[in-house]
Amino acid sequence: MIGKRVVVTGLAAVTPIGNDLGESWSNLVAGVSGAAPITRFDTTGFDTTFACEVKSFDEKAYIPHKQSRRMAIFTRFAVACGMMLLENAGYTIPEAEASRVGVIVGCGLGGLEDLEAFHSKLLEQGPGRISPFFIPMIIANMAAGQISIFTGAKGPGLCTTSACASGLHAIGYAYTDILLGRADVMICGGAESTITPLAVAGFNSLKALSTRNDDPKTASRPFDKDRDGFVIGEGSGLVLLESLEHATARGATILAEVAGFGASLDAFHMTAPPESGEGMALAMSAALREAGLAPAEVAHINAHGTSTYLNDACETTAIKTVFGEHAYTVPITSNKSMIGHTLGAGGGIESVMSVKTIAEGIIPPTINLVTPDPACDLDYCPGVARRAEVSSVLCNSFGFGGANACVVFKKFEE
C-alpha cells in the first residue's frame, strides 16, 4: 500500500475491569474477570442474570452534569474516553488544524437503555412525555458527534455499525483516511452499553449468552470445551491515529504503527459463520497482505474469541487456514475472557490492548480455559500472562451479518 504511514499516539479505555487505561490493562494482565450479577435491572425470570458491567464509573471529570443527562450511557463512555485519549496523547486540537482531525466511533446498537425507558414512558404516560432529547440520545453516531463537540474535531466523521466488528471497522477506516491524506489525525474506536432487559432477553433467545449463573467469573471461557455462550459487556476503547509526519512534527510518543487493514463478508448467514471460517480468513489475509507481513512474521493474535461454540471453532479453523504451521506456535489471546463481549466496543478496546501488548511486552492471558476443546487446539495463552517481545499483533473482530474486520499493529521502526 502506497500512502502515508499511520501511527498510534494515544490510548484510552473504560471497561468492565477498569475505569481508565491503567486499571483496565493491569487487571487484564492479572486475569481479573469483570463478570458479576447484573445491577441495572431485576433479572427475575431471565435465563442469564450476570454481565460484565462497567463499575462505579463517574464521568463528572469530563462531562458537565447538564450535558451528561442528555447522553446515553454509551455516549458518556465515549466522550470520557475521548477526553482521556487526548490527555494520554498530550494533544489538544488547535483550531487551525481542526478540519484535519476526524472522529470515527463504532457502535452496534446505540442507546438501547433509553429506547426501552422512553418506550415504557410512551405507553404509560403518552406521547407528550417524551423528551426532545430522546432521538439525539439514542442514535448510534452520537458518540462520534459528541466527541467532536467536546474536542473541536471538524474533520471526517462517521459511525461504523457492523455489529461486533463496529469498533475495529472504525479503526480500519480511520487508518484509511490518514493513509489517503484525507486527515492528519483520527480519534477512533468503539463504544457500547446494551446491558438491558431487551438485549439480554434477545441474546438469550438466540442461545448466545452463557447461563452459568452460579459462577459468573468463570462463564466467559473462550476455546474451552465447556463454553456455553458469551458474557455481555459494555465500555469504550479509543486510539489516536496520526500520520507519521504529524506525530513527528509535534514530538508525539509513538506507541505502535498501524500496518494493515482487512475486511470481508461471509455471504452465509445472519448470525453464524461458515464452519470453514472463510470470511474470517479472507479478512486476516487481506490485513497481512496490506501490512506486507508473511503469516510467520505475526508475533501475536488478539482473537475475537467470544466463548460461543461456533465462533471459537471457526476462528481457530480460519487461523489454521491463514497461518499454516505457524498457527500452532503463535500466541493467541481472547480479551473477552475477562472483559466479556462488549459488542460494538470490542474492536476498540481490544485494539487498545493490542497496542499495550506491543508497548509493554506482555501478552495477556485467556482465563477460564480449563478443558481444551479438541476443535480448538492452538496456543491460547491459558491462565497466565506471558512476557515476550511482540513485534506485531493481528487484532480480529467478527460480527452478525457476516461482517469481518482485522487490523495489524506493529512495533514502530523509523
Active site residues: 164, 304, 341
Q: Which among 272, 105, 79, 116 has a CA at the least distance from the CA of 195?
A: 116
- Give the 3-state secondary structure of residue 412: coil
What length does the chain have?
414
- Apex 234 CA angle, 233 and 240, nearest 5: 130
Q: Which among 283, 287, 262, 261 has a CA at the least distance from the CA of 273?
A: 283
DSSP 8-state secondary structure symbol assigned to residue 248: H
Q: Which among 103, 41, 35, 38 has a CA at the least distance from the CA of 75?
A: 103
Give dist(CA 240, CA 342) in Å, integer: 20
- Give the 3-state secondary structure of residue 184: coil
Give dist(CA 178, CA 172) in Å, integer: 10
224: Cβ contacts below 8 Å, ≥ 6 apart: 307, 368, 369, 370, 371, 372, 373, 376
Give dist(CA 405, CA 402) in Å, integer: 10
How is residue 74 written as a grid cell? 454509551
Beta partners for residue 186, in sequence order: 102, 241
Cβ atoms of 106 and 263 closer than 8 Å: no
